[in-house]
């Protein structure tokens, strides 16, 4: 690993490796209790876009090297050695921007090389950073090794109903194959609809009894909501747990009108300023 690669190691990943948990999030800002002192309120901010930290208690900040030198009370050379030994360079290989937030379809050359039980520590650390229980994640997620245009990547995989796989890691949000929703059926009369698998797993962590008391649809994209009219007819109640953003609010209002009395908005579960269930879990647990 060269210095430039090491400098791009996400500070959030370093904080997680060192045992510091995210207290709350605000857009691209991650807030922690300072690693430099005991405190009740989180005053240590990480800008995940710029990959810089700022400690409001000290009035100082910097990059990942500055952080390690401060925490370890060491010089630059020693910080470089620590980071080089602790982190695998491949885990922080960021794919090109055109692979983010897109569907990999038949016009793009891709290949799934391997699917495995979730165990890669890089991926489990990514999930832990989102406060997701690994035992629950293993029931619904796999780790996927794949390549796009001859470049190799890996990520967390969540399968949809038509054979596509949603891929997520620190840098990537894409679908290998056809974009579609994912169904989890328990032969129940009530359905919960969520936007993402992280919201689904967050719901199971927050309310474990729901796992076997409802059927679920994970949309994987809000646009999939319009494809559920036939699915909705199978249920006595449809509970909508969409995002608390402009698109999610509009979609909720529209479908409550379509569903009538059988439609229920359950965003009150995380209507405290949180964007979604995973954001609520990160901010409160």
Host domain of residue 25: 3-91
Mean pLDDT value of segment 257-283: 93
Looking at the fold, whether 113 and 38 belong to one and the same domain comes out as no
Domain of 239, CATH number, reads: 3.40.1360.10
Domain count of the chain?
A: 3
158 pLDDT more than 90? yes
pLDDT at 232: 97
Domain of 11, CATH number, reads: 3.90.580.10
Looking at the fold, whether 86 and 125 belong to one and the same domain comes out as no
229-249 per-position pLDDT tens digit: 999 999 999 999 999 999 999
Q: Which range is most confident: 6-20, 72-86, 94-108, 206-220? A: 206-220
pTM over 0.75: no
* Residue 54: how many other CB atoms lie within 10 Å: 15
Looking at the fold, whether 77 and 26 belong to one and the same domain comes out as yes
Looking at the fold, whether 220 and 260 belong to one and the same domain comes out as yes
66 pLDDT more than 60? yes
196 pLDDT more than 50? yes
Looking at the fold, whether 128 and 150 belong to one and the same domain comes out as yes
Residue after which a domain boundary falls, among 91, 121, 155: 91
Mean pLDDT value of segment 152-181: 91
Query: What mean pLDDT, rounded, does the chain reach?
Result: 88
Looking at the fold, whether 167 and 201 belong to one and the same domain comes out as no
pLDDT at 93: 46
112-144 per-position pLDDT tens digit: 999 999 998 888 988 998 999 999 999 999 999
DSSP 101-148: TEEE-TTS-EEEEEEEES--HHHHHHHHHTT--HHHHHHH-EEEEEEE
pLDDT at 61: 95
pLDDT at 94: 46
Looking at the fold, whether 51 and 115 belong to one and the same domain comes out as no
81 pLDDT more than 90? no
Looking at the fold, whether 194 and 165 belong to one and the same domain comes out as no
Looking at the fold, whether 98 and 81 belong to one and the same domain comes out as no
204-237 per-position pLDDT tens digit: 999 999 999 999 999 999 999 999 999 999 999 9
């Amino acid at each position: 690993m060269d210095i430039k690669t090491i400098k791009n190691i996400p500070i959030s990943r370093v904080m997680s490796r060192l045992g510091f948990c995210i207290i709350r999030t605000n857009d691209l800002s991650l807030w922690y209790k300072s690693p430099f002192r005991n405190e009740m309120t989180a005053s240590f901010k990480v800008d995940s876009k710029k990959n810089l930290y700022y400690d409001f208690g000290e009035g100082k900040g910097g990059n990942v090297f500055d952080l390690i030198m401060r925490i370890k009370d060491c010089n630059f050379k020693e910080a470089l050695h620590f980071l080089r030994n602790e982190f695998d360079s491949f885990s922080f290989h960021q794919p090109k921007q055109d692979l983010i937030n897109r569907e990999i379809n038949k016009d793009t050359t891709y290949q799934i090389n391997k699917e495995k039980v979730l165990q890669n520590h890089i991926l489990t650390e990514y999930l832990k950073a989102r406060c997701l229980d690994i035992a629950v994640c293993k029931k619904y997620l796999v780790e996927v090794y794949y390549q796009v245009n001859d470049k190799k990547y890996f990520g967390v995989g969540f399968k949809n109903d038509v054979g596509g796989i949603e891929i997520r890691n620190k840098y990537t949000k894409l679908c290998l194959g056809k974009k579609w929703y994912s169904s989890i059926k328990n032969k129940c009369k009530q359905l919960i609809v969520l936007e993402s698998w992280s919201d689904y797993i967050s719901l199971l962590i927050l309310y474990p009894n729901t796992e076997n008391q409802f059927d679920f649809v994970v949309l994987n994209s809000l646009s999939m909501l319009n494809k559920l009219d036939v699915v909705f007819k199978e249920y006595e109640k449809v509970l909508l747990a969409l995002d608390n953003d402009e698109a999610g609010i509009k979609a909720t209002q529209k479908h409550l009108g379509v569903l009538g009395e059988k439609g229920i908005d359950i965003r009150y579960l995380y209507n405290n300023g949180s964007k979604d269930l995973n954001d609520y879990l990160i901010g409160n647990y």
